[in-house]
Amino acid sequence: MKSPAAEKIIVALDVATEKEALALMVLLSGEVGAFKIGLQSYTTTGPGLIRAAFLLGPVFLDLKLHDIPNTVAKAVESAGKLGVKMLTIHLSGGSEMIRAAVAARSNNMLLLGVTVLTSSTDKTLAEIGIAEKTSDHVLRLARLGVANGIDGLVASPHEARMLRDEFGDKIKIVTPGIRPAESDPGDQKRFATPREAIDAGADYLVIGRPVTGTVDPKAAVQRIVEELA
């Protein structure tokens, strides 16, 4: 039986082949709370990997949907038929798109709103015409999502405490940009350690390369679980 700490860990299957993804899921089945299938894995394998994953653990489908409301609604409906546990949409799509997605989701799916990517900074926002500070823009989008029925939010660990203070237990908070102590942050700009993110109010931690890029992914997960426990 997984510990409560292990249930909080979502491993991102950002690998090059279906064979690698399946091997990771077999290795870590029973060790983590869910597996994240993102754009890289989904583009490579399609829905087949999701179907295979059901035997090994819950699936977080991280496609960050952002399109016209009808298209997003149909995609959410299709994801529900595949049985995914979590699905992401971009809150910058606006209230009509969010409501369409919420209306199309199945009852047991957590629909998560993406605020600002963890690779983005104030400079990134300024480049696309957004004058707000990153934290202010995150809060603006989060309020929009919650007001329109979103189940949870995806935000960096740096904004997790602000969001928890704002919304309490009304929503789930999922934090990417998790880097255990002394690991390489890569392209993440707003990151934190697993313990820092949980202390800030995160419900789930999305962890990729610090697990999948190691020689012994199971040992890497166990070290994170020990840190959290």
| 3-state DSSP of the chain | CCCHHHHCEEEECCCCCHHHHHHHHHHHCCCCCEEEECHHHHHHHCHHHHHHHCCCCCEEEEEEECCCHHHHHHHHHHHHHHCCCEEEEEHHHCHHHHHHHHHHCCCCCEEEEECCCCCCCHHHHHHCCCCCCHHHHHHHHHHHHHHCCCCEEECCHHHHHHHHHHHCCCCEEEECCECCCCCCCCCCCCCECHHHHHHHCCCEEEECHHHHCCCCHHHHHHHHHHHHC
Q: Which candidate in 64, 81, 172, 189 is catalytic?
A: 64
User: Residue 209: its pLDDT value, please?
Assistant: 87
Quote the tokens at residue 64: 């960050």
Q: What are phi and psi of 143, to 5 degrees?
A: -60, -40
Tell me what pLDDT residue 187 has: 45
Q: Which two tokens stand for residue 100?
A: 């369409």
Does 74 qualify as catalytic in the annotation?
Answer: no
Q: What is the CATH number of domain 4-228?
A: 3.20.20.70
CA distance linking residue 109 with residue 102, whole number of Å: 10
End-to-end CA, the chain: 15
Residue-level pLDDT at 124? 93
Residue type, 57: G
The amino acid present at 204, given as its one-letter code, is Y
User: CA-CA distance, 24 to 57, in Å (whole number)?
Assistant: 11
pLDDT at 1 (0 to 100): 65
The residue assigned the tokens 């653990």 is 57
pTM exceeds 0.85: yes
- One digit per residue, the tens of pLDDT, for the chain of length 229 reads 678 999 999 999 988 888 999 999 999 999 999 999 999 889 888 898 998 888 888 999 999 999 999 999 999 999 999 999 999 999 999 999 999 999 999 878 999 999 998 788 899 999 999 999 999 999 999 999 999 999 999 988 889 999 999 999 999 999 987 877 655 545 444 457 889 889 999 999 999 888 998 999 999 999 999 888 8
Alpha-carbon span 214 to 194, nearest angstrom? 17
* Residue 35: closest CA among 178, 211, 214: 211
Find the length of the chain: 229
d(CA 50, CA 34): 12
